Amino acid sequence: MKEPYPKILTGAYPLGPYPMEKLRQVNEPTTAIVGPIERFDEREHGFNRAARGDYGSRAQHRSSRGYPVSGAVASNYAGLAAMGERAHAAIEETMPPYPLPEDPGILTRHVKSLGYFMGADVVGTCRIPRYTIYSHDSAGNPVENDHPNAVTIVVDQGYATMDASSGDDWISSAQSHRAYTTSAFIAFAVAAYIRKLGYAARVHYSEDYQLVLPPLLLLAGVGEIARNGIVLNPFLGLRFKAAVVSTDMPLEADKPVDFGLQDFCRKCKKCAVECPVQAISYDDEMSVYNGYQRYPFSAERCTRFRLTNPHGSFCGRCIKVCPWNKPAGWTHDLVRWMIQHAPVLNGFFVRTDDLFGYDKANRDRQWWFDPSE
Amino acid sequence: MKEPYPKILTGAYPLGPYPMEKLRQVNEPTTAIVGPIERFDEREHGFNRAARGDYGSRAQHRSSRGYPVSGAVASNYAGLAAMGERAHAAIEETMPPYPLPEDPGILTRHVKSLGYFMGADVVGTCRIPRYTIYSHDSAGNPVENDHPNAVTIVVDQGYATMDASSGDDWISSAQSHRAYTTSAFIAFAVAAYIRKLGYAARVHYSEDYQLVLPPLLLLAGVGEIARNGIVLNPFLGLRFKAAVVSTDMPLEADKPVDFGLQDFCRKCKKCAVECPVQAISYDDEMSVYNGYQRYPFSAERCTRFRLTNPHGSFCGRCIKVCPWNKPAGWTHDLVRWMIQHAPVLNGFFVRTDDLFGYDKANRDRQWWFDPSE
């Protein structure tokens, strides 16, 4: 392929299903990273602490995979592990049959397009700051990764099932595993492709991380940090999971985005109200945690409840009730636009959302079975 | 979950993204299965014959995976094989934590919903006739499968990339591998779920078949047989691949469908005109092949060209130019409706299609690179 490159590679069209390109781009995330940030030890993650017994016996021994739908979806991790074993081996067969473009922008849109072709909902890129590399993995081994660039692969958990769910019922963990396994499946194909072009690439997914993903999603412009401390995308809400490919391929970095979420989250507080264990703050202002500006959040309460939830398998109640959890469509696109451009209306939208019952489980559409207790 | 069951499980809503439920259902496929049908020996498949050298040295030694995009997508087969090894072992951990409904219709919509949740575009069910079981596998071992029921998992190859492609260029094999691997990924989760409920289940996908898939897709109402001998779905055209789960779980079988394709294909002949090696018949009437009514088709010409195509990796030109290869949307839904209800207009639609250039590659949207030759 010679210059001029096709329009799709020069940025003339949106690459994926959502108009990410139309969001306002900014030089710094809307939640400040003030630093200094200490590298995180994966052993201190909630699930690893629970596995050591820090949250009690029930949290230590209960697996999301005991619920059959969840266990079935999670069974595909076996195959992903096999992809990983092959992929993490030394660079295999590198066979560049075409001269790659020197322009990193062209190359970046090419690689992103492969992610979209494979079914990703949002694909972003960013540099990898050293503070996003875990200091130690869950087994206690020191972690190093010298790849400068990240490709973030985002997959929707699916609106139809979220519509039928309360967010903290039996399907919750299956929704997570579905999006985790699918994003990893896509990431392995993208990483294999990058290696075939002669560059190093490694997949970071829910069973095998070297990198802390949320700050990478923030830097890559996937979304802004919401009140509950995780990244919110304006088209998917909080209803997604991600995998990341780290690489030494020269890529153009995306910028963080600003679609007005900070004003919205300050007023809304719906996730804080609805959280079954009050793990999310009602504060009007953020504080600073390990160098990140964010609302206070109790990871312990959240993790403990997810592992012990007596009426469900895990929990994603904040994801469900978030007013940004909406189907694709023009009325909701209009509301998204107005939130971005007329923040004075934000309180009105939250109340309208309550009236329409978007926070309720639409049980007419529940396709899964509850265990008999 | 107790009766009454949620509306989604009683058939009140469409389960998936396309209104498959609205198609006219018929008792017998629109292309007659007159029999007797001899069971097929997998060694006689075009690709296996090519591998033995029947189609010459270039066809014997050239792999679709030499093109890097295709090889990267196909690298995920390694993970699917690992899922298969685990899955084909004796029935594991069966832990039915809820009483399953006795009504096979409820159970069928439940299992189909899992397929849709995982991302399938169409999920169907049918009985497994003995003639669809291969007599021998590609290694020459006799094949047996005593599962009465099949779940067909259909995945779109993707309109955006097909729009950019000629159908017989470099992205063709990657499109196939993308839909083959994704449908298998979904099928492994569905099969794992069925086993967790205490039934046997096996996945049949592009790397590991016991069953001949096209007649199962026909019986399950995924579509009708088109002029080029494969199943056409009215919403996806020929632009899909499938995997199948066979099981002894009691399931309700779907019926074959009739959306007017036979009259359309008799008049259209576009695939025959555009086939680069004239493998597709121009005949006005079908003949009978191994008990199936269909148009004559040269599998040898088709396979040989796909393996030796000098300007691409494989070929799906018939898939690309088929007038049923259209994006989702109301104008095209209208045309689909009119074809079904006013077959006298079929010739007009084919000519309109030519005028709008749907058979052309939209190179502005080509995101992949061609090898330098």
Percentage, residues of chain B above pLDDT 70: 95
Q: Which residues contact A320 (CB under 8 A, 6 or more apart)?
A: A162, A165, A166, A167, A168, A359, A361
Q: Comparing C-alpha atoms, which of A179, A81, A88 is closest to residue B82?
A: A81
Predicted confidence at residue A355, as pLDDT, reads: 74
Q: Count the residues in chain A.
A: 373
Is the confidence at residue A90, as pLDDT, over 50? no
- Which burial class, exposed, middle or buried, applies to B80 when counting CB atoms under 10 A from its CB (0-12, 13-18, 19+)? buried
B200: phi then psi, degrees, rounded to nearest 5:
-80, 150
Amino acid at B209: Y
Q: How confident is the model at residue B68 (pLDDT cuts 50, 70, 90)?
A: confident
Predicted confidence at residue B202, as pLDDT, reads: 95
Predicted confidence at residue B145, as pLDDT, reads: 96
CA quadruple A16, A20, A25, A29: dihedral positive or negative? Answer: negative
Question: What's the whole-model pTM score?
Answer: 0.95
Q: Count the residues in chain B.
A: 373
ipTM score above 0.85: yes
Predicted confidence at residue A89, as pLDDT, reads: 45
Two tokens, residue A114: 């492969």
| B330 in A contact zone (CB under 8 Å) | no
Mean pLDDT of B68-72: 87
Mean pLDDT of B239-245: 98
A161–B9 C-beta distance less than 8 A: no
- Widest distance between CA atoms in chain B: 65
Between A194-198, A292-296, A369-373, B207-211, the lowest mean confidence (pLDDT) is in A369-373
Predicted confidence at residue A338, as pLDDT, reads: 75
A98–B75 C-beta distance less than 8 A: no
Q: Which residues contact A145 (CB under 8 A, 6 or more apart)?
A: A128, A133, A202, A210, A211, A246
CA distances from A295 to A37, A159, A265, B312 (A): 16, 27, 10, 54
Mean pLDDT of B198-217: 95
**What is the rounded distance in angstroms from the CA atom of residue B234 to the CA atom of residue B30?**
14
**What is the rounded distance in angstroms from the CA atom of residue A171 to the CA atom of residue A161?**
8
* Residue that the structure tokens 């099969």 belong to: B191
Predicted confidence at residue B2, as pLDDT, reads: 63
Q: How confident is the model at residue A107 (pLDDT cuts 50, 70, 90)?
A: very high
B1 or A171: whose pLDDT is higher?
A171
* Residue that the structure tokens 């009426």 belong to: A311
**What is the rounded distance in angstroms from the CA atom of residue B173 to the CA atom of residue B70?**
6
Is the confidence at residue A183, as pLDDT, over 80? yes
A196–B71 C-beta distance less than 8 A: yes
E strands, B50-148, in order? 122-127
Q: How confident is the model at residue B90 (pLDDT cuts 50, 70, 90)?
A: very low
Is the confidence at residue B247, as pLDDT, over 80? yes
**What is the rounded distance in angstroms from the CA atom of residue B36 to the CA atom of residue B28?**
16
Average pLDDT across chain A, whole number: 91
Mean pLDDT of A95-121: 91
- Which burial class, exposed, middle or buried, applies to B141 when counting CB atoms under 10 A from its CB (0-12, 13-18, 19+)? exposed
Q: How confident is the model at residue A35 (pLDDT cuts 50, 70, 90)?
A: confident
Q: How confident is the model at residue B92 (pLDDT cuts 50, 70, 90)?
A: very low
Q: What is the DSSP letter of B252?
A: P
**What is the rounded distance in angstroms from the CA atom of residue A22 to the CA atom of residue B175?**
29
B368–A110 C-beta distance less than 8 A: yes
**What is the rounded distance in angstroms from the CA atom of residue A291 to the CA atom of residue A210?**
20
A365–B8 C-beta distance less than 8 A: yes
Mean pLDDT of B275-293: 95
Average pLDDT across chain B, whole number: 91
Q: Which residues contact A363 (CB under 8 A, 6 or more apart)?
A: A164, B6
A252: phi then psi, degrees, rounded to nearest 5:
-85, 130
Predicted confidence at residue A329, as pLDDT, reads: 76
CA distances from A289 to A34, A44, A263, A268, B358 (A): 10, 15, 20, 22, 55
From the list A99, A178, A370, the residue facing B118 with the nearest CB is A178
**What is the rounded distance in angstroms from the CA atom of residue A271 to the CA atom of residue A314?**
16
Amino acid at A220: A
Mean pLDDT of B219-232: 97
List B residues 236-275 in contact with A (Cβ-Cβ < 8 A).
Answer: none
Between A186-195, B41-50, B127-136, B349-358, the lowest mean confidence (pLDDT) is in B349-358
From the list B72, B114, B189, the residue facing A75 with the nearest CB is B189
Mean pLDDT of B105-122: 98
Is the confidence at residue B289, as pLDDT, over 60? yes
| B277 in A contact zone (CB under 8 Å) | no
Predicted confidence at residue A74, as pLDDT, reads: 85
**What is the rounded distance in angstroms from the CA atom of residue B337 to the CA atom of residue B339?**
5
Predicted confidence at residue A358, as pLDDT, reads: 82
**What is the rounded distance in angstroms from the CA atom of residue B220 to the CA atom of residue A282?**
53
Is the confidence at residue B88, as pLDDT, over 50? no
Percentage, residues of chain B above pLDDT 90: 73
Taking the CA of residue B97 and the nearest CA in chain A, the distance in Å comes to 5
- Which burial class, exposed, middle or buried, applies to B40 when counting CB atoms under 10 A from its CB (0-12, 13-18, 19+)? middle
A39 or B334: whose pLDDT is higher?
A39
Two tokens, residue A139: 């087994």
Helices (H), chain A: 7-10, 46-51, 57-61, 68-74, 77-87, 104-117, 159-164, 172-196, 213-219, 261-268, 270-274, 299-308, 317-321, 330-341, 346-356
Q: Which residues contact B81 (CB under 8 A, 6 or more apart)?
A: A79, A82, B207, B208
Between A95-104, A170-179, A184-193, B344-353, the lowest mean confidence (pLDDT) is in B344-353
Cross-strand partners of A267: none
Task: Show the 3-state SS of A167-215.
Answer: CCCCCHHHHHHHHHHHHHHHHHHHHHHHHHCCCCEEEEECCECCECHHH
Predicted confidence at residue B328, as pLDDT, reads: 81
Predicted confidence at residue A373, as pLDDT, reads: 54
From the list A72, A78, A371, the residue facing B196 with the nearest CB is A72
- Which burial class, exposed, middle or buried, applies to B90 when counting CB atoms under 10 A from its CB (0-12, 13-18, 19+)? exposed
Is the confidence at residue A88, as pLDDT, over 60? no
Taking the CA of residue B26 and the nearest CA in chain A, the distance in Å comes to 27
User: What percentage of chain A's residues is helix, strand, coil (to nearest 5)?
Assistant: 40, 15, 45
Is the confidence at residue B167, as pLDDT, over 90? yes
Predicted confidence at residue A299, as pLDDT, reads: 93
| B196 in A contact zone (CB under 8 Å) | yes
Asked, as a colleague might, if the bond just before B104 is cis with ω within 30 of 0, I would say: no
Mean pLDDT of B69-81: 85
Predicted confidence at residue A77, as pLDDT, reads: 85
Is the confidence at residue A129, as pLDDT, over 90? yes
